[in-house]
Amino acid sequence: MTAADLQRYFEKSGDSDLLAGELLENEHGFMVFDVLIDMHGTSFRILHAYGDGKYWQALAERMAKRARCERIVICTKRNPYGFIRRHGYSVIGYILGKEL
């Protein structure tokens, strides 16, 4: 991943850093992910993705099935309905924040 790719990601996403997780990168862009085990079961979490969304979604589904995850979870600052329409996601909760 070049510095220019990372800068474009930050500009597009509004993020200022990357969360810790496993990083995969290739000619399709990059994806940062982890696997979370909690009281709700096992989730494959896509923490960041940049580039070819269809490629990363298909790869995440294969990896999640191989890891025997029950779901894929993403968070977005963008309108979630594109992910619902394009990839079959549903809203399962909300993230709230309060500036201090």
Quickly state the pLDDT bin for 1 (edges 50, 70, 90). low
Q: Which residue has the higher pLDDT, 81 or 11?
A: 81
Residue 92 lies in a domain: no
25-45, pLDDT tens digit by residue? 889 988 889 998 988 889 999
pLDDT, position 4? 77
State which residues form the domain around 45: 3-8+26-87
Assess if residue 82 is contained within a domain: yes
**Residue 75 included in any domain:** yes
Identify the band that residue 82 occupies on the pLDDT scale cut at 50, 70 and 90. confident
In a domain, 95, yes or no: no
> Which three-class secondary structure state does DSSP give residue 74?
strand
| pLDDT over 90 (residue 59) | yes
pLDDT surpasses 70 at 54: yes
Q: Where are the beta strands (DSSP E) in 1-100?
A: 22-26, 29-38, 41-51, 71-74
Nearest in space to 63 (alpha carbons), one of 94, 21, 93, 20: 21
Q: What is the total count of domains within the chain?
A: 1
Edge-to-edge strand list for the sheet holding 29-38: 22-26, 29-38, 41-51, 71-74
- Angstrom CA distances, 58 to 27, 28, 79, 88, 96, stand at 15, 12, 21, 12, 29
Q: Is residue 17 part of a domain?
A: no
If you ran DSSP here, which 8-state letter would residue 21 be given? S
Query: Is 68 a member of any domain?
Result: yes
